[in-house]
Amino acid sequence: MNFVLFRIHILQCLANVEAYIDFGEDDAIESDVMKDVENEVTVLIEEIKHHLGDKKKGQRLREGVRIAILGQPNAGKSTLLNILSKL
Give the start-to-end residue ranges of the domains of the chain: 3-85
Determine the Cα–Cα distance for residues 43 and 36; give it in Å rounded to an integer. Answer: 11
- Residue 22 amino acid letter: D
H-run or E-run covering 84: helix 77-85
Average pLDDT per block of 10 residues along the chain, 87 residues long? 81 88 71 87 88 70 75 90 77
Determine the Cα–Cα distance for residues 43 and 30; give it in Å rounded to an integer. Answer: 20
pTM across the whole model: 0.56
Q: Note the pLDDT of residue 12.
A: 92
